[in-house]
Amino acid sequence: MKRWFDFLSGSRSSKAGLAFVVVALLILPFALTQAGTAWVRITNLAILFALLSLGLNIVVGFAGLLDLGYIAFYAVGAYTYALLASPHFGLALPFWVVLPIGALIACTFGVLLGAPTLKLRGDYLAIVTLGFGEIVRIFLNNLSQPFNLTNGPRGIARIEPVQIGGVSFRGTDTWFGFSVSGPMKYYYLLLAVLVVVIIINLRLEDSRIGRAWQAIREDELAAKAVGINTTHIKLLAFAMGASFGGIAGGIFAAIQGFISPESFVLVESIMVLAMVVLGGMGNIFGVIAGAVLLSFVPEILRYTVEPLQKSLFGKMIIEPEVIRMLLFGLALVLMMRFRPAGLWPSSTRRRELRGPS
């Protein structure tokens, strides 16, 4: 239970290591700003994807349920935030009220989806969740008639930024002589949320529930035999995963200031899945690494592939976006074939995937 606190009381070197990491993360946005605030924004998106991946990791990595419609919960969180804090309904609730509501509604959707479908076999479940994700998107896209709930494909604009104690996260402020831009403030907010989510995940992993999830993942029949209420436990995984997705969605809406159903398409679900699979299903830090890696891939490609092709052929032959998708596809195939447990696998997952199923 207190394992993950161990390093606090641990050796001096690990303490120093932790201190280094904390300091590095705290000054990171200032370093990035030197290169351009755009990089802070890219980092923020990476953390956002890390949050999403951690949520999906509970469902796919811990409990072994393949969810292909995960982006629906992200969408629900984002729309909840947008509806409660924008001129669309003339509401402007503070974010610490809206985010929990978003998480709660996303959680409800998770249960609504999970309750009837969890008895389905793994691959059927995957397809049903995929269908669910599409249904949510289609509804968001069409609920402008006959009552204008979501404003349809035109999306919701002028969403309120996060505000804490009178400090708006949109503008630039000067704190202690440092100029802190909007994206930098969101960076710290996201970092804080990420730390909380990591702590929750680490504690879950070794709790009774976490072990029950792993038991179900490895052998559902055996898990049932030893007295685990598999339906409840699986439902809990769906609900928790959905809640994290909802929180990430809410922050996304606040950062963007504008959302539309376009942002919640199937490809996004698959992208998050790719992050989880690549990083290592079930391994919290592996998943975060996967999310950060894949979020930066497009930017890395922008700075490598484009100039490279232009200097070699004088023009662009394969667009970076296409290369990114091809790499995703290839990564999914190769990972399943050669490293099914991911680049940074969790130890149990590794054992499980090595043995015959």
**What is the distance between the alpha carbons of residues 139 and 123, in angstroms, rounded to a whole number?**
25
For position 38 contacting another protein by CB under 8 A, the verdict is yes
CB of 109 to another protein, least distance (A): 14
Strand partners, 233: none
Say if residues 62 and 237 touch (Cβ distance below 8 Å).
Answer: yes
DSSP string, 161-220: PPEETTEESSS-EEETTEEE-HHHHHHHHHHHHHHHHHHHHHHHHTSHHHHHHHHHHH-H
Q: Whose Cβ is closer to another protein: residue 125's or residue 240's? A: 125
For position 341 contacting another protein by CB under 8 A, the verdict is no
Q: Where would I find the H helices in 36-121? A: 37-57, 71-84, 95-117
Chain positions 219 to 278 lying near another protein, rule: CB under 8 A, are: 220, 256-258, 260, 262-263, 266, 270, 273, 277
Chain positions 80 to 99 lying near another protein, rule: CB under 8 A, are: none
Q: Which of 2, 9, 12, 35 binds another protein (CB under 8 A)?
A: 35
Chain positions 128 to 187 lying near another protein, rule: CB under 8 A, are: 128, 130-132, 134-135, 138-139, 141-142, 144-146, 152-155, 157-158, 170-171, 182-183
Q: Which of 92, 127, 167, 196 binds another protein (CB under 8 A)?
A: 127
**Which two three-digit tokens encode residue 126?**
């995957």
Tell me 156's DSSP state: B
Report how many residues bind another protein under the rule CB under 8 A: 112
CB of 177 to another protein, least distance (A): 21
Say if residues 264 and 72 touch (Cβ distance below 8 Å).
Answer: yes
For position 353 contacting another protein by CB under 8 A, the verdict is yes
Q: Which of 285, 297, 309, 339 binds another protein (CB under 8 A)?
A: 285
H helix and E strand count, the chain: 14, 6
Please, how many CA atoms are within 13 Å of residue 354, restricted to the half-sphere of its CB?
7
Chain positions 291 to 320 lying near another protein, rule: CB under 8 A, are: 292-293, 296, 299-300, 303, 316, 318-320
For position 121 contacting another protein by CB under 8 A, the verdict is yes
Binding mask 59-78 for another protein (x = CB under 8 A): -----x-x-x----------
